[in-house]
Chain A
Amino acid sequence: MATRTKRYALAIDAKKCIDCKACVVACRAENGVPLGKSRNWINEELRGDWPKLMEVFEPEQCHHCEAPACVRVCPTGASYQRADGVVAVNPSECVGCRYCMIACPYDARFFREDLGVVEKCDLCAHRLDRGELPACVETCPSKVRIFGDLNDPTSEIHQILEKRQYRLKKREAGTGPQIYYLL
């Protein structure tokens, strides 16, 4: 893999997540996602039995992998990866074969029947290019999400990943996911 100058990634501190859905609504507003579909979501897990109960909330979206399976399998190159690591879909090239949806280990993509193309989180690339944060990161009340350039040693995400342990989801898929779940 060629080394990148910039590498955007997300770190998620799930213990701060209160499942308020602000990120889901902000993304819907920012990106025009229709109801019934979502570019991001919160995984909920209830554990234990009365009265020793425990509940965990974990936000998730496209992991913008380092070796994205969705980009590899796309027959037209509509699914592509930018130099800064953001994986996106070019809707004018997408034929709607949905192979990428099946190839994604995280089920992060969805099909837009109204447009006939596949869609997913693109880290609000249009906002990144304006120097703004992705909508979900900006709007979060409990500051669950840390976004930044992994290759910039002064960035918050770089520093926090040096200090704290983290896990990645579904490593066995071998796609090199870039959402770091802080432990």
Chain B
Amino acid sequence: MNRRGFLKMATGGAVGAALLQTEACRVPLQQQKAAKDVVPRLEIPTTCDMCVNKCSMIAIVEKGVLKKLNPNPENPKSKGMLCARGNAGIQQLYDTARIKHPMIRTGERGEGKWKVVGWDEALDFAAQKLSAIKEKYGPQGTLWSSSESFQEVFFRNLSQAFGSPNSVRHPTLCLASVNLAYSVTFGTVPSFDVQNARYIIMSGANRLESFITPDTMDLIDSTTERKARLIYLDPRFTKTAAKADEWYPIKPGTDLAFILAMLNVIISENRYNKEFVSTYCTGFEQLAEHVKQYTPDWAAEETQIPAKDIFRIAREFSDAAPRAICYAGRRSSWSRDDFSMRRGQAILNAIVGNWDRQGGMVPNAKVELGELMFLPWDDPVAPRVDELDKNFPLAAKGDGVYLKLRENVLAGQPYPVKAWMIYKQDPMSAIPEQEKTLQMLRQMDFVGVIDIQMSDTAWYADVILPESTYLERLDPVEMLGGIRPVVLYRQPVVKPLHDTKPAFEIVQGLAKRLNLSQYFDYTMEQWIAEQVKPLPMDLPLDYMKKHGVYSPPQYPKYGSTLSPDHRFVTKSGKIELLSERLREAGYDPLPVYHQPSQVPEGKFRLVLGRHAFFTHASTSNNPWLNSFSPENALWIHPKPADSLGINDASLVEVASGVGSVRLKARVTPKIRTDCVFMQHGYGKRSPWLRLANSGGSDAQLIETAWDKVSGGAALHETFVKVRKV
């Protein structure tokens, strides 16, 4: 290299170096600027929506990304904890399988061909269809089904403003019978003070496993720390059974026999609370006469629980009163006679006098919230399509009876229903006899679904209007009554990730196009502002934003209804052991025991249940939750499994009168020999819910049956044949 070359190189290098330096200086400055704009770490209180419990939590958000959901210790119901589902809420938000834009179906229903459209087009389409059907069939030609949500009120209001009487909600598949039974007896549905009870009888209420409620935490606390005794009846050895003091594998459908026998013992041995009964109850004499026939020996035959244990439990129960409860349970959709069983429970609770006492049943306290005044609409004119007045006069009108409704809709009686709007519900998975649900979907001229994921129902929709998840929305304030009532606040923790809207805005969009805007001409902020007005603090909205939950400190309070002039919301004004209302409606005024249908030879009764990681059928595609149980398996006792040649994990075919599924077998001693069990939420059709496609769907197997009085679905009345594949 000569001198010239060297100089060239050196200058070039120097210039280059100088340029690099300036570039290098610029970049850090840019980064500094960007860092200042973004707030590092936020803690935003809000409310969970992974199940009905609505626990309070604090979202940890870093640079606009949700990192963690921590419990909020200020909520006395959720008691500073967050369960597996609550923690997994992050995955619901960031689920890549979410519906990200409104979509309209292009192929056949169920083909899965969609075109992505803008909101205007989607809402125009839905509104046009609804209007056309209203033209042709009247507003009653539309069905509006939804599940509980802080925003459900808007959907329901829309259905009413639209003029349709046909709304159907989840209680008809869940707790219709227990709610009605307690309402008929006490005029209200109370809560159970599990935390302070000393003796707790639970029929099938798998409180320690099916989901985490305040009762779950109270139950484990009272049984482990406070020596409360738990008697648990279930054909399955669930996790609650594992923690119970005594577990009886009761013959399904015979719980009422057990209860009646307990009544028999308690009354005949004068163990009931005489003062309470005479002051607050009516119909005792008839009750006493009625239960004479239901002896423990008779009950032992029915339930397969030894008579001596029934005697003993009845005595122990009454000794522990008033801190003794016969827990009502939540999902009571078991048998055709479920209502009678819950009535029996209510009566048992009543006569030991645990009403409104510590450790007993406590009527729910409330916190009064304000209400935004908006334009009222005319009540729907046409009668409901499920003809409740005729078939189920006592059933809750707004909730409907799903199975009867479907039956009528399929038959086109008493009038055709041709449009189905569905919000936050998956009837294909939730209702028994999936074939019929599919038929119903196909029969519709229009199916519109508001949901966050491509459920099996959404798969058959004509238009999908994606809702934002609970972590992306501002919701109305919600009050949860109970022994310790709470007021809950939900605010968005991140901006919506996709082109989704809260249900409220979807409803407003539809209302505009249906000429119903006048009923929805307010903002969410206005709605909430009205709601929080009555709260005692100075700036209630600021308080709720900062704390996420408000719980009045004066609770729990006991005994406020225990004055002789208190009027129960029943016809007689007292607790009705014998119910005139039932008699007038043509039902048994006192619970009469009917034997459950016997399991036919060579078959099994199919029972259902839940586990701690799934909320029914809606969370089975959440990867964090699915990992604990990627597929369901049929629980079968080793003895019948042996005789059928079934080994653990071998494939079996389960067939009922309405369908058959294939899934793996789980041979376990944890279930009665005459029963089989499968978890809910699997065997999905929707290819978008890949993780949940495995296993088998119970919806395909369960036959249509309902509780005679409340119309609630009877999900344990199906007998199946099992064979090795």
Contact = CB atoms under 8 A, between A and B. Distances in A.
Nearest to B57: A139
A21 B628 contact: yes
Contacts of B224: 13, 15-16, 142
Categorize the interface residue count of chain B. Answer: 35 or more
B516 interface: no
Contacts of A56: 242
B87 A18 contact: no
Interface stretch (A45-53, A71-79, A84-92): A45-53
Interface stretch (A27-35, A100-108, A146-154, A171-179): A27-35
B394 interface: no
A21 B612 contact: yes
A35 B626 CA distance: 10
Interface in B219-262: 220-221, 224, 237, 239, 241-243, 247, 249
Contacts of B208: 18
A28 B628 CA distance: 13
A101 to B, nearest CB: 21
A22 B87 contact: yes
Contacts of B90: 29
B372 interface: no
Contact of B669 (A28, A50, A138, A142): A50
Nearest to A142: B220
A55 B239 contact: yes
B623 interface: yes
A125 interface: no
Contacts of B239: 18-19, 55, 57
A30 B242 CA distance: 30
Main secondary structure of the interface of B (DSSP, over half): mixed
Contacts of B220: 16, 18, 141-142
A26 interface: yes
Interface string A135-170: 100111111000000000000000000000000000
Contacts, number: 106
Nearest to B79: A141
B637 A142 contact: no
Contact of A50 (B87, B212, B627, B637): B637
A69 interface: no
A25 interface: yes
B175 to A, nearest CB: 22
Specify which of B623, B624, B625 lies most central, judged by the most chain A CB atoms within 10 Å of its CB.
B624
A139 B81 CA distance: 5
Interface in B25-84: 67-71, 79-84
A20 B84 contact: yes
Nearest to B211: A20
A20 B50 CA distance: 15
B417 interface: no
Interface string B637-668: 10000000000000000000000000000000
Given A16-B224, A55-B242, A22 B212 contact: yes
Contacts of A36: 627
A24 interface: yes
Given A18-B208, A53-B669, A53-B670, A142 B88 contact: no
B94 to A, nearest CB: 11
B237 A55 contact: yes
B404 to A, nearest CB: 36
A49 B624 contact: no
Nearest to B88: A25
A93 to B, nearest CB: 26
A2 B461 CA distance: 69
Given A25-B87, A142-B220, A18 B243 contact: yes
A183 interface: no
A141 B243 CA distance: 15
Given A15-B224, A54-B242, A138-B71, A21 B82 contact: no
Contacts of A143: 81, 217, 221
B604 to A, nearest CB: 15
B70 A138 contact: yes
B83 A141 contact: yes
A20 B216 CA distance: 11
A142 B222 CA distance: 11
Interface string B85-102: 011101000000000000
Contacts of A30: 68
Interface in A74-132: none
Given A21-B612, A51-B249, A53-B670, A141 B87 contact: no
A43 to B, nearest CB: 14
B720 to A, nearest CB: 21
Interface string B599-627: 00000000000001100000000011101
A22 B624 contact: no
B211 to A, nearest CB: 9
Contact of B82 (A16, A22, A46, A54): A22
A94 to B, nearest CB: 24
A13 B68 CA distance: 26
A60 B613 CA distance: 19
Interface of A: 13, 15-16, 18-22, 24-26, 28-30, 35-36, 46, 49-51, 53-57, 135, 138-143
12 contacts: A22-B212, A25-B625, A28-B624, A29-B624, A53-B242, A55-B237, A56-B242, A139-B70, A139-B82, A139-B87, A141-B81, A141-B220
Interface of B: 67-71, 79-84, 86-88, 90, 208-209, 212, 216-217, 220-221, 224, 237, 239, 241-243, 247, 249, 612-613, 623-625, 627-628, 637, 669-670
Given A21-B613, A50-B249, 9 more contacts: A13-B224, A16-B221, A18-B216, A20-B84, A25-B87, A26-B87, A50-B669, A53-B247, A56-B242
